[in-house]
Structure formats: C-alpha cells, structure tokens
Amino acid sequence: MDPQNFHHHQCSLWRFEIFDTLSKHVAQKGQKVKFIHVGANVGNSDDDPVFGYVVNHGWQGALVEPVPYLFEKLKKNYEPYPNLSFFQLCCSTQQGTLPFYMLEEASASDSPLGPFLSSFEKEVILKHSGFFSDLASHIREIQVETVRVDTVIERANLQGFNALVVDTEGHDDKVVAGLNLDVHAPELIMVEYHHLQLEMLRHMHERLLDYGYRPIWMYYEIIYVRHTDLNYPLVKKITSLSETMYRL
C-alpha cells in the first residue's frame, strides 16, 4: 500500500474508533446517538460516515440534502430505519434562498465522483474537470432554501443531539457558524476542510477551540470532540497522534 492510501486507510480506522466510542458513551446513559448529517448525499455510499451506525447501532436524527434526485435516493435508502427526519435544503448562516450548483443527473453517472459534486461555489465543481468531458456544460444552477442548523434542530426535535456531520464542498464553516454553541454543543462535530479557504478554516477552528473542542485531523476531514465528554484514553491517543501529523 502506498503512503497516501495507507494514510487514508488509517484515518478511516480512526473515524470508526471515534464513532464507536461516541455510541458507547451515549449508550451508557441508556440512549441512542442523535445526529444531524448535512450534505447526506444518497446515504449508503462506501465512505458514508453515518449510514452504518443507523443500520447497526440505531442512530436517530436528521439528514439534509439539497439536490433533488439525490434527496429522493437518500429517503429510499433510509426507508427501513425509524426515527429519521429528511430535509431538502441547505444549512448556512441565515434563512433564505441562494443559488446552488449541481451536475445534471445524467452526467453525474459518468463518474463515481458525479453524485458528490454539488456546491454553492461553481469553482469547487470545476476543480474536477479532469474526470469529465466538458464538465462546465453539465453544471446546473438551482435555487435552494437555506436555514441555520439551529432551525433543523427545532424542526426535527433534536435538542441535546450528539453529533453534527458536515460535508458540503466548501460551505462547512458556514454550516458550523449556524449552530449556536451556547445552546447546542454536541459531543462531536465532523467537517470536511478540503475545499475551505485557510482563513475560513482558521476562524471555524478557533471558535471550536474556544468552546472546548479538540481537533482530530483526518485525510480530508477534521473531527472535533468535546474533551469533557469524550475524554477516553483511545480518543486522547488518536487526538495526540493527529496533532503530531498536522498543524494549522
């Protein structure tokens, strides 16, 4: 295995360990993990961080996906599992309507990456031009509803939820900014930082540190854990290892 693939594999193992720890931590209270997954896509892709925990551990929560054809597949894939709410919208810093970019459904099937290419920033999609023929001509603009994460919590009745998982191709910092951490402070927040500008990443990172979260740096993601909740030896070890590998 080459170093890049080994690193990706190791980060995947860390993520499983941390999510398993969260499940056990919440189970000790006689509860199931409550989550919000923003940018849920179709739900059952190979690298989806939540689907297996809904299936095998009974996680309960809300799934947010703005792309219409992906949203329909998402609902179908999760149909057998109870205690889930679905929202066809985007999370951001305020309520309203914004333009959003996606690949037309027929073109998205031309590559395994296709269904994952949607964003508020057209340039994020165009970064993947090498995987498609004439990618720009297959991008479509739609109007999407935007709400704060706080609104999703209210609509889904998820007060006291445990995990926020975000994968929005460059909008993750604004999703997290829409969470009032004075009222809702989940034990775990996972974001994708790959498409964030450094200043946006730094601002989000420093805010979460101020609220007592510690970062676990992954391949494309960061898992922030609130150390007062997930202060387990294994999580502390993984946190220390990741801090030796990454610096912001």
What pLDDT sits at residue 243? 61
**Contact by Cβ (8 Å): 234, 13:** no
Q: Which of 131-135, 148-152, 226-230 has the lowest mean pLDDT?
A: 226-230
Q: Give the integer Cα–Cα distance in Å for 89 and 98.
A: 10
Dump strand ranges (E) for 34-173. Answer: 34-38, 60-64, 84-87, 90-91, 96-103, 118-119, 139-147, 163-166
The size of the chain, in residues, is 248
The pTM assigned to this predicted structure is 0.91
Span 31-59, pLDDT tens digits? 999 999 999 999 988 789 999 999 999 99
Q: What is the mean pLDDT of the chain?
A: 88
Which string of DSSP letters, residue by residue, matches 171-212? -HHHHHHTS-TTT---SEEEEE-TTS-HHHHHHHHHHHHHTT
